[in-house]
Amino acid sequence: MASDTAGKGGLEDVVATASRICLLDGDRGTLSYCGYDIHDLARHATFEETCFLLWHGRLPTRAELGDLHTQLAEARVLPDAVLRLMRQLPPADGMDALRTLTSALGHLDPVVADRTPAGLYRTAVRLTGQIASLVAAWGRQQQGAGPVAPDPAIGHAANFLYMLLGTRPDAESVRAMDVALTLHADHELNASTFAARVAAATLTDLHSAIVAGIGALKGPLHGGANAEVMKMLIGLGEDAPAERIDRQVRDLLARKVKIPGFGHRVYHTEDPRATHLRQMSKTLGQRAGNLRWFHMSERIEQLVKAEKGLHPNVDFYSATTYYTMGIGLELYTPIFAVSRISGWTAHVLEQVANNRLIRPRADYVGPASPQAFRALDTR
């Protein structure tokens, strides 16, 4: 007999677990981590504070934050064997490289077998530092440059930009990256987080659970929309007149082609994360003396709202935010992982602390059973 959830494709609105980490309300357009509103965190918190909040359920003291800074600084130094493997990989998508290299980190982690709460937490912190370094080093390699050693005196967002771009980032760029990492840190049971929790529920190691999350994030229905947004803008041309923008967007809408960066599976109003990214895109454009990309995005937003009633999601303005900072499109989804590793690991820690194997059922809609088996020569 079919269950009450029959026909709910993609488990829509099905509650799969209880969690203390993230609350989002799609009707009101609100998002909070452990009770703290995302707007307050974006305005006042650093990414390191956000990580501690997700892992512990509370904000850190000054001493605890200092300890976390030290732990992350130590973690950012990648093993030589992983850097050698990175150089040996064939040409690869950034998420493919990240998946392989994260798995390799599991082989080289001296305490990978420590499944105690303290051991899992240490691995969560270590992976958060290492993922950022992996993405930065891979980005450098794609540009034909060598890795940049991290600077223990600066924070996570500043280190990531420094290791990626090879120059000391200005305060505005550091703040923009810090906010972007905070905004992307967690989002309840999205596909990659759920994949990580399902893997963790089998009591596999933390690295394997994170690889499951990376694999899910790689899919174009989850990660990568911001790169598609920027490709669309570049395709229109930086100097595209308003008439051409309107005509092309209306043509896409008429042909029922999805405009990247709009709509959301949960939010029925504006994604609260988009509110901050819109402002960052504008601020960085003003600083660079080039607001054209922002104005193009703003015009597309107004048109899609008017024509379809759709609001921008987290991906729409993150595209021009990253692009204005000089970050290549191929890194947009890996940067998502640089942030979401905090949420993935928080959910894995929560899952393991009160674990039960995640084993849902399926509504069978195949042929009636039992079928009569016929011998091979009679088929």
Instruction: Examine the residue annotation and report whether 107 is marked as an active-site residue of this protein.
Output: no
Dihedral sign, CA of 105, 110, 112, 117? negative
C-alpha span between 261 and 229 (Å, rounded): 6
Domains of the chain and CATH, by start: 21-220+341-353 (1.10.580.10), 225-324 (1.10.230.10)
C-alpha span between 19 and 351 (Å, rounded): 9
Instruction: Examine the residue annotation and report whether 363 is marked as an active-site residue of this protein.
Output: no
Asked if residue 12 has pLDDT above 80, the reply is: no
C-alpha span between 138 and 144 (Å, rounded): 10
C-alpha span between 309 and 263 (Å, rounded): 9
Could you read off the pLDDT of 18-45 as tens digits, one per residue?
999 999 998 899 999 999 999 999 999 9
**Closest among 83, 109, 110 to 97, alpha carbons compared:** 83
How much is the pLDDT for 1? Answer: 42
pTM of this structure: 0.93
* Consecutive H or E run containing 38: helix 38-44
Asked if residue 4 has pLDDT above 60, the reply is: no
How much is the pLDDT for 113? Answer: 82
**Closest among 166, 186, 185 to 327, alpha carbons compared:** 166
C-alpha span between 174 and 272 (Å, rounded): 21
Asked if residue 2 has pLDDT above 60, the reply is: no
Candidate list 264, 276, 311, 347, residue with the active-site label: 264
**Closest among 51, 53, 48 to 35, alpha carbons compared:** 53
Q: How confident is the model at residue 8 (pLDDT cuts 50, 70, 90)?
A: low
How much is the pLDDT for 45? Answer: 98
Return the structure tokens found at 40: 């307050």
Candidate list 178, 276, 315, 347, residue with the active-site label: 315
